[in-house]
Structure 1
Amino acid sequence: MRKLAHMAAFVVSGVGVTSGMALADPLPSWNDTDAKTRIISFVEAVTDPASEDYVTPADRIATFDNDGTLWAEQPVYFQLIFAVDQVAKLAEQDPSILTSDALRAAAAGDYEALAATGKEGLIEVLAASHTEVSLYQFQQDVAAWLAEARHPKTGLRYDEMTYQPMLELLRYLRDEGFATYIVSGGGIQFMRVFAEDAYGIPPQQVIGSSITSTYEVVDGVPVIMKGAELFFNDDKAGKPIGIMHHIGKQPILAGGNSDGDFEMLEFSTSGEGARLGLYVHHTDAEREWAYDREGHIGVLNRGLDEGPDRGWLIVDMAQDWSKVFANTKAE
C-alpha cells in the first residue's frame, strides 16, 4: 500500500519559520472560525509549560472515531462494502455458498435487498467475508480490495476518502507531543491494514471491534485464525472500556461524529484540567453529504442536543472546512 504522499505537501506547514516571524498555519484547510481558534488555543494551553493547563507529553492522549470522523461513511460503512464485494468474489469461485437471501443480495450488490434481511443478514454477510480465514489472508484481502475498489460517487479509492482537515489535526497534535489513537466501531483488523498509511497512526494505536480468534499451527506455521463470534463491540459505552483496556489512560481530546461516540467524548472530557471534545457535523451536501438526526448511518441527536452545553465543539463541515477530502479530485 502506498505511503501518504499527499501528506507531504503540508508537513512543512507545521514547522516554525525563522525567529521573530509568525508561525505557519498548523491547520491550513480549516477556515478562520471559532472551531479553528478553539482547537489551537486548547493545544497551545496544554503544551505550554507556563500554562496552568499544561499537560505532560505522556498524558497528551487524543482519540478519534474513524467512520464519518476521519474518512467518509456514505452510502454505507466502507467495511460493509468490502464484505459485500468479498461475498461476490467468493460466489464467483463457488456459487454454492449463496445459501440465503442475504448472501444472494450481497453477491448481486443489492444493498436494498440486503438491508431488508435485517441485522441477521448483515451479520451473515460479515461472517462469510471475515471469518474462518487466517489473519494474514484477511489483511491481504483488505489490502487488495483497497487497491482496486472505487467509491461509487467520487471514483476514489476508499482510503483516499479521508478528510484533509482531520489529517492536518492529527499531524498538528503529533507535532505537539500528542499520541493519536483510532477508537472505532469498525473492525480492528480491518482498520489496521490502512491506518498507518492513511493517518500516520500505527496498528498498535488502533482500537476497534473484534471477533474471536484462535492460535493454530498449519503445516508447521503458526497462524491466527479469525473466528465467527463477536469478542468486543467498540461502540458507545464500549469505547471508554476499549480505551482503558488498550491505552490505560484517559484521553484529554476526543473526536467523533455520531451518538455512537457520545460516551467516548463524555469520558474524555470529564475530570480536572483542560479537555476538548469535538463532533464533526456533516452539513456539506455539495462537497460531501448532509446528515445528522435521521438516516441509516452516522445518526447524531444526543451530541447536537447536549454537546454545546457540555462545552464540546461542533465542527460545521460546510462552514469550518475550506477543503473536505485529502484528494482534491473528490471536490
Structure 2
Amino acid sequence: MRKSVLLGTLLLSFGCSANSDALPAWNDTPTKQAIEKWIQETTRDGSPDFIPLNKRYVVFDNDGTLWPEAPLTFQLQFAVDEIKRMAPEHPEWQKDPLIAAVLENDLKAVAASGEKGLLRLVALTHSGMTTEAFAARVRDWLDTHKDKRTGCRYDRMGYQPMRQLLDYLRANGFKTWIISGGGIDFMRVMSDSMYGIPPEQVVGSFSLSDYSLGEKGVELQKTMKGAFNDDGASKPVAIHLFMGQRPVAAFGNSDGDLAMLQYAASNPDAKTFGLLVHHTDAAREYAYDSPPTASGKLVEGLSLAKQKGWVVVDMKQDWKTVFDPSLCSGK
C-alpha cells in the first residue's frame, strides 16, 4: 500500500482524533459538544449508532448557513450589479421602474417588487447566454466586487466555523452536499474552492437549458423554462432526485429549511442530526430571525427545534470567529 493511501485510510479511521480540536472557531459550548458527540457516536466501530460509510450523506443549505444572506443574498447582489453593468447597452430599460430602482440603489423598491420583480431581474441576468458564459460572468463578478460592509470578496465570506464543520464531517467519512434555494449554476462556480464541495454535490434552483450544435460544438443556452425553486417542501424532492437517498443530517438557518431537516430526521435507519444557525450577532454579522433583512425568516424552526431535539447555533455565543481573518481581512 502506498504511503499516501495508508495515511488517508488512517485519517478516515481515526477522524480528527489526532487533532486537539477539529473545530477551533467554535466556542466550547453545548452546541459544539453536541456536534462532536453525534459524529463520534455515529462513526465509532461497535457503536449502536454506527452509520455505514455508504449512508453518511449530510446536506447543507447555503444562504445564511454557509455564507451570509443579508442585507441581500449574494446572488441577488450579483443580479443587481449585472443590471448596472448591462444597463448602458439597453436604453429600452430606462422606462422600467424596477430597473430604475436598481440603478438608483433603491433596494426597498426592489424588495417591494416581490417575487415577480426578483424573477425578472434573474431572467435579465441569468438567461440568454451559454452556461460557460454565465460561469465566466460570475467569476468576473467575484474577482471585481466586494461586500460593502466587510470589504471582503464574496467568495471568501464562507463562515469559518461551518467550513471547519464540513472538513470535520468529511474527515469522518461523511459526504457533504449543498441543497439550497440559490441558483445551481451560480453556486457551482465557487462551491469547490470555498467549501470543498464539488459541483456534482451542489443542488439548487434551476431552469432548463437549450441544446444546440454549431461550429463551436455543443452548447447549452440558459433559459427560464421549467424553473424549479429549491426551497421549502421542494428541498426533499430535490434531495431524492439528485442524491437518491435520505440524508442522516441536515443543516439550515431558516423556516425554508424545515422540510429538509424533517426529511433527514425521518430517516428510519440512522441516528440523525439537525442544526439551525440562528443569526444573533449584529456586531460581527447580522441579528435577525423575524422579520429578516432579506430572506431567512426563522420562527417556526426555533419552536420545532425544541420539540425535535435539533441543535440551534447562537452565532454570538457559539462562534469564536465568523469569517476567517486570513481570507477576509477587509483589505
Per the normalisation by structure 1, the TM-score is 0.91
Looking at structure 2, the residues matched to 98 and 48 of structure 1 have their Cα atoms a distance apart, in angstroms, of 63
After superposition, give the CA deviation of every residue in 1:38-92 in whole Å (9 maximum; x if it has no partner): 1011001111111000011110011000000000111111101100111111112
Looking at structure 2, the residues matched to 15 and 128 of structure 1 have their Cα atoms a distance apart, in angstroms, of 46
Matched, 1:61 2:25: no
SS at structure 1 position matched to 2:262: helix
Deviation at 1:16, TM superposition (A): 4.8
SS at structure 1 position matched to 2:35: helix
Looking at structure 2, the residues matched to 153 and 230 of structure 1 have their Cα atoms a distance apart, in angstroms, of 36
Hey, what does 2:283 align to over in structure 1? 286
User: CA separation of 1:110/1:217 partners in 2, compared to 1, >3 Å: closer, same or farther?
Assistant: farther
Q: Which runs of 5+ in 1 are unaligned?
A: 1-10, 18-22
Deviation at 1:99, TM superposition (A): 4.7
Looking at structure 2, the residues matched to 59 and 53 of structure 1 have their Cα atoms a distance apart, in angstroms, of 12
Looking at structure 2, the residues matched to 270 and 241 of structure 1 have their Cα atoms a distance apart, in angstroms, of 14
Looking at structure 1, the residues matched to 107 and 132 of structure 2 have their Cα atoms a distance apart, in angstroms, of 28
- Where do 1:1-331 residues align within 5 Å? 16-17=17-18, 23-272=19-268, 273-295=270-292, 296-327=294-325, 329=329
Looking at structure 2, the residues matched to 62 and 312 of structure 1 have their Cα atoms a distance apart, in angstroms, of 15
Hey, what does 1:5 align to over in structure 2? none
Deviation at 1:195, TM superposition (A): 0.2
Looking at structure 2, the residues matched to 132 and 108 of structure 1 have their Cα atoms a distance apart, in angstroms, of 25
SS at structure 1 position matched to 2:288: coil
After superposition, give the CA deviation of every residue in 1:189-224 in whole Å (9 maximum; x if it has no partner): 000000000000000000000012111123342101
Looking at structure 2, the residues matched to 219 and 106 of structure 1 have their Cα atoms a distance apart, in angstroms, of 37
- Say whether the 8 Å CA contact 2:16–2:172 is kept in structure 1: no
Amino acid at match of 1:282: H
After superposition, give the CA deviation of every residue in 1:272-308 in whole Å (9 maximum; x if it has no partner): 3311000000011111110002134210011001111
Amino acid at match of 1:237: A
Amino acid at match of 1:150: K
Deviation at 1:146, TM superposition (A): 0.7
Deviation at 1:108, TM superposition (A): 3.3
Per the normalisation by structure 2, the TM-score is 0.91
Q: Which runs of 5+ in 2 are unaligned?
A: 1-10
After superposition, give the CA deviation of every residue in 1:198-257 in whole Å (9 maximum; x if it has no partner): 000000000000012111123342101011234211100110010010001111110000
- Say whether the 8 Å CA contact 2:248–2:267 is kept in structure 1: no
Deviation at 1:167, TM superposition (A): 0.3
Looking at structure 1, the residues matched to 278 and 16 of structure 2 have their Cα atoms a distance apart, in angstroms, of 29
Amino acid at match of 2:255: D
User: CA separation of 1:15/1:305 partners in 2, compared to 1, >3 Å: closer, same or farther?
Assistant: closer
SS at structure 1 position matched to 2:177: strand
SS at structure 2 position matched to 1:329: coil
Of the structure 1 ranges 276-285 and 216-225, higher mean CA displacement relative to structure 2 is found in 216-225
- Say whether the 8 Å CA contact 1:106–1:125 is kept in structure 2: no
Of the structure 1 ranges 196-205 and 317-326, higher mean CA displacement relative to structure 2 is found in 317-326
Aligned pair count reads 313
Hey, what does 1:7 align to over in structure 2? none
RMSD: 1.6
Looking at structure 2, the residues matched to 221 and 49 of structure 1 have their Cα atoms a distance apart, in angstroms, of 51
Deviation at 1:113, TM superposition (A): 2.3
